[in-house]
Amino acid sequence: MMKRLLVITFLLAGAVNLLSAQSTSNCSPAPTNCEANWCWGENPGKAKETYTIFSDALKLKEYGRAIEPYEWLLTNVPCLNEALYINGLKLYEALADEEKDANTKIKYQERVLSLYDKRMSIYGEKLDVMERKALKFYPYEMIERTNVIPDAAMINKLYDYYDKIIEKGGANLKQNSIFVYYMDLMCKKKNIVKDMNEDVILDKYGKIIQIIDSKITEGKNKEAWEEAKTSVDGFLEQCVSVGCDFISNKMYPKLQANPKDIDLAKKILAFIVKIKNEEEKAKCIKGDIFTKTVEILYTSGERTASIAGILADRALANGDEEGYVKYMNEAIELENDPRLKAEDILKLAKLFSKQGKLGEARSMALKAASTDASKAADAYELIGDLYMNSYKQCSSGDAVQSRAIFLIAYDMYAKAGNGSKMATAKSQFPTVTDGFTLGRKEGEVLNVGCWIGGSTTLRMRKSGQ
């Protein structure tokens, strides 16, 4: 029994050493004397002692004292453990940050980048490690070396790395600055290296902006992602001339050829919105390209409140009030923001008012007021206007009863806090003479009647007021 246990223990130990060797197959010299994934090399006593000296110096932030033992470890036991690179990066990143001499700082920065490369060559290109390097690579080469003008070779080297990490990581990347660096490098590829055209840039921009938009929607670090989007858009405007002609001649024909290309439709819509020249933007929005693109998105299942609102506005501009009501109702249904929902409800209320559908207009206005308190004043003002404009429709032979609409209109304006319109309504109150003649007393309940219904309190003004 004891012999079997010894055999099993021996096999397990061998398996651990084998796995360690396999995971560090790119090491030279090959890992030896491995214990629980720590491979101490040909002189394990020396290696352990040196690692202790290095580790203690690092913990005490005595970075200068940590360099010599670390370099010995890196030379003699490069496959010691991945922690050798994790801690080595802590050392040289700290040295680079603290160094005042420009040349020495560059030396430390180069060491940082080489350690990332060495770590990935041995332990694999894990996305989180690639991302950490990406946070250093561009700033070290493009920002901090102020006395160096980037040449084509450096731009290509940087671009290839960021292109690789974005292709690999996509929406799984956590650092927004990586996308900003990538966009700038694309522009440099076009303007300095001159080997990237606008079509490629627009295609890649469309992909990264979708990732950024998804991050903004998630809500985590929202402000930082919004800032990144602004920066990415800024770089795009610097290196690509996206105007209505470009969209019409280069982008829209592709959408016509493939109406199912939803990503392209989204790009077209986004680029139209970004056109800076207002006249050119207006030309694009009024044209068929805008309408057709929005319709393709909407009918393909990209049903959003904003797109429904755009279709509603276009329908109204073309005199299609029925279409406007249809799309506006859909926009209201799809909208999650109470303020925007209330605004859309008020738009419908105003159309119903224009159409003479006064009851429907009032119902929509009341719905807007209950949907978002910030829109209640506008809603009650609209209801007051509906009442004020109903005098001819609701008047009768009774001088007091006929003016009940002005009393209840005053009540709505009071709710809206609109003093000017309250004064206008008050000027149309029944007169004291009318009340005396008809035997009515101020303060009594007055049923309004007509389409308005409800009741109000009788108030009167002196004749001539």
pLDDT of residue 25: 52
Examine the fold and report which residue of 193, 208, 240 is the final residue of a domain before the chain moves on: 240
Regarding whether 103 and 158 lie in a shared domain, the answer is no
Burial class (CB in 10 A: 0-12, 13-18, 19+), 137: buried
Burial class (CB in 10 A: 0-12, 13-18, 19+), 329: middle
Please give the backbone phi and psi of residue 31, each rounded to the nearest 5 degrees, phi first: -65, 140
pLDDT of residue 7: 33
* Residue 451 belongs to some domain of the structure: yes
Regarding whether 117 and 21 lie in a shared domain, the answer is yes
Q: Is residue 212 within 8 Å of residue 228, measured between CB atoms?
A: yes
Distance between CA atoms of residues 419 and 417, nearest Å: 6
Q: Is residue 74 within 8 Å of residue 119, measured between CB atoms?
A: no
Could you give the number of structural domains in the chain?
3
* Residue 355 belongs to some domain of the structure: no
Distance between CA atoms of residues 28 and 16, nearest Å: 19
Regarding whether 104 and 16 lie in a shared domain, the answer is yes
Regarding whether 156 and 65 lie in a shared domain, the answer is no
Range of the domain at 431: 390-465
Regarding whether 179 and 81 lie in a shared domain, the answer is no
pLDDT of residue 209: 87
Residue 403 CB neighbour total at 10 angstroms: 23
Regarding whether 83 and 149 lie in a shared domain, the answer is no
pLDDT of residue 428: 93
* Residue 381 belongs to some domain of the structure: no
81 is written with which tokens? 């453990």
* Residue 221 belongs to some domain of the structure: yes
pLDDT of residue 174: 95
| Residue burial 89-102, b: 16+ Cβ < 10 Å; e: rest | bebbbbbbeebeee
Regarding whether 25 and 91 lie in a shared domain, the answer is yes
* Residue 448 belongs to some domain of the structure: yes
Regarding whether 10 and 100 lie in a shared domain, the answer is yes
pLDDT of residue 281: 82
Regarding whether 92 and 9 lie in a shared domain, the answer is yes
* Residue 64 belongs to some domain of the structure: yes
pLDDT of residue 269: 84
Regarding whether 120 and 4 lie in a shared domain, the answer is yes
Distance between CA atoms of residues 21 and 27, nearest Å: 9
* Residue 305 belongs to some domain of the structure: no
Per-residue pLDDT of the chain (465 residues; tens, 9 = 90+): 333 333 333 333 333 343 333 355 577 778 899 999 899 999 999 999 999 999 999 999 999 999 999 999 999 999 999 999 999 999 999 999 999 999 999 999 999 999 999 999 999 999 999 999 999 999 999 988 867 788 999 999 999 999 999 999 999 999 999 999 999 999 999 999 999 988 899 889 888 988 998 999 899 999 999 999 989 988 988 888 778 888 888 888 888 988 988 878 888 887 887 787 888 888 887 788 888 898 898 888 888 898 888 888 888 888 899 999 999 999 999 999 999 999 999 999 999 999 999 999 999 999 999 999 999 999 999 999 999 999 999 988 888 999 999 999 999 999 999 999 999 999 999 999 988 999 999 999 999 999 999 999 999 988 765
Regarding whether 117 and 16 lie in a shared domain, the answer is yes
pLDDT of residue 464: 63
Regarding whether 78 and 31 lie in a shared domain, the answer is yes
* Residue 352 belongs to some domain of the structure: no
